[in-house]
Structure 1
């Protein structure tokens, strides 16, 4: 799963460099405008937001950006509910239909028990911090569904707290759309172009900066608050490399049955 994810992202980056950023952004702009002009374009974007919440589907951040490309800042009205509903459905599906497998695996994995111990001790505060960490969206959803001490209400509140982060991505998409269309770009004044670029860079730096700060804060809290030896060994790998393949490697043989 991790390999598949890495290959997918590498393919996207290769496509951008091969075609050229300007062409790629022009395609994104044209696609977003088609969606905007479609009667049910908003519903298509909403559906993409929901589907991209399920592993192993990728493209959640791209979908957020397209919401900004197509509808500007107002795109958050589509993006936020879609992401929230997709996350809740993912949580419920994994909790209800894969609970026995996840429970069997977690009871045999001391590292995961340590992770559960810390989250149970700190409750909602730590859940929100981990949720804000730059973990791929689909795997963050799966992570909390697999931890029994996390309730649906806590997961819901933590996901709602992601609204500012989602707003930033939609905002970046909105600003990038102004520079993506060749015709509109040529008509913009130099000062407007510089201001638009500055807004994009500022938004990206703010997203990266807050993500790094929350990541470091979360890791520090996990190291300080858990069962000493197990948390020290388990916290970073679990946060950095959680995937379905990792579950299958450490689970009992019945997983593959």
Structure 2
């Protein structure tokens, strides 16, 4: 009888729809949880902060509309700016200083400056300047917030839930791989520099090495900036501009997908970490207070405690009735002793 091949090896079999449905349900559940969390945080805001949120949302919508309408003019202006910047005598030093400064929280603008490096110096020639400025700026920010502004660094961690979670992980595991994954996650650049400095278990050299290893990711910023400048070049054909635009979309999508995969892996690591912490806390409580079932507590059965389960440092549980009997016996002995002393000291009567 000929052996039968496993049906799983059939190249023409249909994909597992159950697995696809489970992935879809997981992503839908995450989106719903995220929406509920946003709604909850919005409801907790004061009326003034709610107004500011709406103003910011309207401003973003207006900015997107203006970019869509005047995108050609904006790109041409950026091209002129990059050309003038390249002609500056100290253009390298100025751009290096700006990237260095935005490494300190709460300053913003790292992404636009990264794109500007690509527009001014091209790909990959803008990467050495951007990577060196990022490395020195982030490391200097780490040292300042570690030794001079430690209280502010602690506040940064307490103000962000993700920073608190990553801080808990790094306190348990200070491996270089964990820190590299955190540096690759989509966290605010300057804020993460200051927040990570508040973790005493994280050494400065580990942080510097992780920043150096993750610096090649900046090639994406430089490449996108370089292609943005090529879109504003009037000498190029329409087909070339379409190719450049598609390459920007593909690069951005690949970068977003990679970041999402890393972020999802860190989320799973966070869930495993928190579940292990909860299990450890539960075992600790059971060790101290005993592991009693609800049925034992709700029933009328007496719960017996074995003295061998407790060490010598714990208190001794006694019986109240035994204590009262011992007190009464001590009082009787004291009265008897007092009577004997009185009888022995009193003078004897003559006959």
Q: State TM-score, norm by structure 2.
A: 0.56
Quote the residue 1:245 is aligned against: none
Instruction: Report whether the alignment pairs 1:53 with 2:103.
Output: yes
1:240 equivalent in structure 2: none
After superposition, residues 90-239 of structure 1 pair within 5 angstroms as 90-99=141-150, 115-122=166-173, 123-180=175-232, 184-185=233-234, 187-226=235-274, 227-229=276-278
Instruction: Provide, for residues 230-256 of structure 1, a one-character-per-residue CA deviation record: whole Å limited to 9, x for no partner.
Output: 9xxxxxxxxxxxxxxxxxxxxxxxxxx
Query: Are 2:118 and 1:68 aligned?
Result: yes
**Residues 123-147 of structure 1: per-residue CA shift (max 9 Å, x gap):** 2211111110011101111121111
Q: Do the aligned partners of residues 133 and 56 (structure 1) sit closer, same or farther apart at CA in structure 2, a change above 3 Å counting?
A: same
Q: Deviations over 1:4-32 (max 9, x none)?
A: 99988975774453362222222222211
- Unaligned 5+ runs, structure 2: 1-48, 280-351
Closer, same or farther in 2 for the Cα pair 1:114/1:76, shift >3 Å?
closer
Root mean square deviation of aligned Cα: 3.1
Q: Deviations over 1:35-57 (max 9, x none)?
A: 10111111111111001111111
- Aligned partners of 1:205 and 1:95: how far apart in 2? 35
8 A contact 1:16–1:24 mirrored in 2:
no
**Structure 1 residues 39, 175: CA separation in 2 closer, same or farther (over 3 Å shift)?**
same
Out of 7-16 and 90-99, give the one that drifted further. 7-16
Does residue 80 of structure 2 align to residue 41 of structure 1? no
Q: 1:115 to 1:166 in 2, by over 3 A?
A: closer
Mark the CA change 1:224 to 1:33 in structure 2 (over 3 Å): closer, same or farther. same
Measured in 1, the distance between the counterparts of 2:115 and 2:199 equals 30
Separation (CA, whole Å) in 1 of partners of 2:53 and 2:81: 24
Could you tell me which runs of 5 or more consecutive residues in structure 1 were left unpaired when the two chains were aligned: 231-257
Deviation at 1:58, TM superposition (A): 0.8
Cα 1:76/1:92, change in 2 over 3 Å: same
Structure having the higher Rg? 2
Partner SS, residue 23 of structure 1: helix
User: For this pair of structures, how many residues does the alignment match?
Assistant: 222
- Normalised to the residue count of structure 1, the TM-score between the two structures is 0.75
Distance in 2 (CA, whole Å) between partners of 1:120 and 1:63 is 33
Larger relative contact order, structure 1 or 2 (CA cutoff 8 Å, min sep 6) = 1
CA distance in 2, matches of 1:59, 1:211: 20
